[in-house]
Amino acid sequence: MYPTILMVEGNIGAGKSTFLKMLETGLNLDVIFEPTNKWQSNNEESNLLHLFYKDTPRWAYTFQSYAFISRVQAILEYQENHEESNHSKVKVLERSVYCDRFCFAKNCFESGLMTQLEWQIYKEWFSWLVEKYTPTPRGFIYLKTEPKTCYERIHKRHRREESSIPMSYLQALHKRHEDWLIHQKELMPHLASVPILVLDCNDEFESNAENQKKHMSAVQNFIDRQVLPTLQPSGKTIQATR
């Protein structure tokens, strides 16, 4: 159902939603955004994202489990609702279940926010769902952004749930993304040959036409030269030129 599926990865505040809207309008790609509506609510008692940031030790396992489960659901729901659409088009997802596992959930466990038992249960559920229901991506696009820049963007957009995010948390997540996508320390075997495009997104691009054009050109070249040509991509990490 998904002949070509790409994952856009990056820290909180890297600009993923803005970037995806650019891909949708500028390159005519199908976009599947994070299911944040399932994590949030106007009622603080049922706003899981707010509860996670408010009392992370209490809600870490609950939120991380629901995050990757709802992400799989979003893919399946999109598939069901677009059965008649053009399946030859490239589909782009905002973050992947792999980012949930190797960045966010692992950071919770290694920071002492998940118990050993919770981490083991999480990994078992993750492995089963990924094997049964998750399509293998044809490429990753990593919006590489320094924690300081992410912190500034988070406070600029002023989302209620994110108001308490400390710099230390962004720094820890940045390290996880770097270990996973740049140093490739924990690539799952079936992802070893999937190419990765790395874009420097420290410079503002939401209203900068030149930066937008640069990023769109890099993505189009990535799709044309690394993703579409073969059924078995090269597995190369590509640093986009500035």
- Give the DSSP letter string of 171-188: HHHHHHHIIIIIS-TT--
131 assigned to active site: no
Residues 6+ apart with CB under 8 A from 99: 7, 9, 177, 180
Nearest one of 217, 71, 222 to 139, comparing CA atoms? 222
5-239 topology per CATH: Rossmann fold (3.40.50)
Give residue 80's pLDDT. Answer: 79
Asked if 97 and 71 count as a contact pair (C-beta separation under 8 A), the reply is yes
Q: Which of 41-55, 135-149, 173-187, 188-202 has the lowest mean pLDDT?
A: 41-55
pLDDT at 1 over 80: no
Cα dist. 195→105, 109, 201 in Å? 23, 28, 19
Q: What is the mean pLDDT of residues 37-62?
A: 87
Confidence of residue 232 (pLDDT cuts 50, 70, 90): very low
Q: What residue ranges do the domains of the chain occupy?
A: 5-239
Q: What is the mean pLDDT of residues 24-39?
A: 91
Can you point out the beta strands (E) in the chain? Answer: 5-9, 30-32, 91-94, 139-144, 196-200, 237-239
Q: What is the mean pLDDT of residues 5-26?
A: 95
Task: Say whether 70 sits in a helix, a strand or coil.
Answer: helix
State residue 72 phi and psi, 5-degree precision: -65, -40
Give residue 86's pLDDT. Answer: 53
Q: Which of 113-117, 128-132, 170-174 has the lowest mean pLDDT?
A: 128-132
pLDDT tens-digit map of 59-111:
999 999 999 999 998 888 887 777 655 555 788 999 999 999 999 999 999 99
Confidence of residue 231 (pLDDT cuts 50, 70, 90): very low
Q: Based on the number of CB atoms within 10 Å of its own CB, is 101 exposed (0-12), middle (13-18) or buried (19 or more)?
A: buried
Catalytic residue, chosen from 9, 34, 94, 161, is 94
Q: Bigger pLDDT: 189 or 205?
A: 205
Q: Kindly report the pTM of this predicted structure.
A: 0.89
Q: Alpha carbon 216 to chain centroid distance?
A: 18
